[in-house]
């Protein structure tokens, strides 16, 4: 589950964002100013931080710079009013992943966060991009097999063969061996096929990117 921190001095706005993001199955924490937020960031690892640009005690730009100093891989989304979009652009140049404007469009907020987190998944798993795994699932049979296992959970060889309507069992056996060699799928003690952790991560990331496109 992804961890998100919301830093916002406006109580109503902060609570509204927390309620919105809880529906997305994130683990949400919040802080009412930048100083408190940085204390929490220093003690915890967050996948993404949403911080207001204009706040008392410590402004959003200062928060952004400090986050990038102590936790450079943490994604930061700037919250800004419409009239300060230029400042938000400056924040993106300083390392923010994106920005959202008040008043919020719920769909836009959800879409941006899903996209940022999905892209981060790929960055955290360079082997998925810098190896032949993507090529491995580009084959129609292998791609359909991965999608089928993602949907059904576990399947026997004959179940995969019959569902995908593959006449030649030797051909399917070959493609399953290829997927296993890249740790995309695995077999349990009863020789039933299922997605390996790498395969599950791959499918989750692909799904997030497709949804945010």
Q: How far is CA 55 from the centre of its chain?
A: 28
Ordered by start, the domain boundaries in the chain are 3-124, 128-212
- Per the CB < 8 A criterion, the answer to whether 176 and 99 are in contact is no
Phi, psi of 193 (to 5 degrees): -85, 145
Query: 134: pLDDT confidence band, cut at 50, 70 and 90?
Result: low
- Per the CB < 8 A criterion, the answer to whether 96 and 61 are in contact is no
CA 3 to each of CA 33, 74, 97, 141, 183: distance values in angstroms, whole numbers, following the listed order: 18, 11, 16, 36, 27
Question: What is the sign of the dihedral through the CA atoms of 5, 7, 13 and 14?
Answer: positive
How confident is the model over 44-73, as a mean pLDDT? 93
CATH code for the domain defined by 3-124: 3.40.50.2300
pTM score above 0.75: no
pLDDT digits (tens, 9 = 90+) for 122-132: 555 555 544 55
The listed range with the strongest mean pLDDT (42-56, 76-90, 91-105) is 42-56
CATH code for the domain defined by 128-212: 1.10.10.10
Q: Is 176's pLDDT higher than 70?
A: yes
Query: 80: pLDDT confidence band, cut at 50, 70 and 90?
Result: confident
């Amino acid at each position: 589950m992804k961890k998100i921190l919301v830093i916002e001095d406006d109580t109503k706005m902060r609570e509204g964002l927390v309620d919105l993001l809880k529906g997305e199955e994130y683990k949400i924490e919040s802080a009412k100013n930048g100083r408190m937020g940085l204390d929490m960031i220093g003690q915890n690892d967050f996948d993404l931080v949403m911080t207001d640009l204009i706040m008392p005690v410590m402004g959003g730009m200062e928060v952004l710079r400090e986050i990038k100093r102590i936790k450079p891989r943490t994604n930061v989304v700037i919250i800004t009013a419409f009239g300060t979009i230029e400042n938000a652009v400056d924040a993106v140049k300083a390392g923010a992943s994106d920005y959202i404007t008040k008043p919020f469009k719920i769909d836009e907020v959800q879409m941006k966060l899903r996209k940022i987190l999905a892209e981060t998944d790929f960055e955290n798993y360079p082997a998925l991009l810098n190896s032949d795994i993507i090529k491995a699932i580009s084959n129609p049979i292998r791609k359909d097999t991965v999608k089928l296992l993602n949907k059904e959970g576990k399947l026997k060889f004959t179940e995969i063969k019959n569902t995908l309507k593959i006449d030649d069992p030797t051909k399917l056996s070959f493609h399953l061996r290829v997927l296993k060699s890249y740790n995309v799928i695995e077999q349990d003690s009863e020789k039933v096929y299922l997605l390996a952790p790498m395969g599950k991560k791959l499918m989750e990331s692909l799904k997030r990117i497709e949804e945010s496109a």
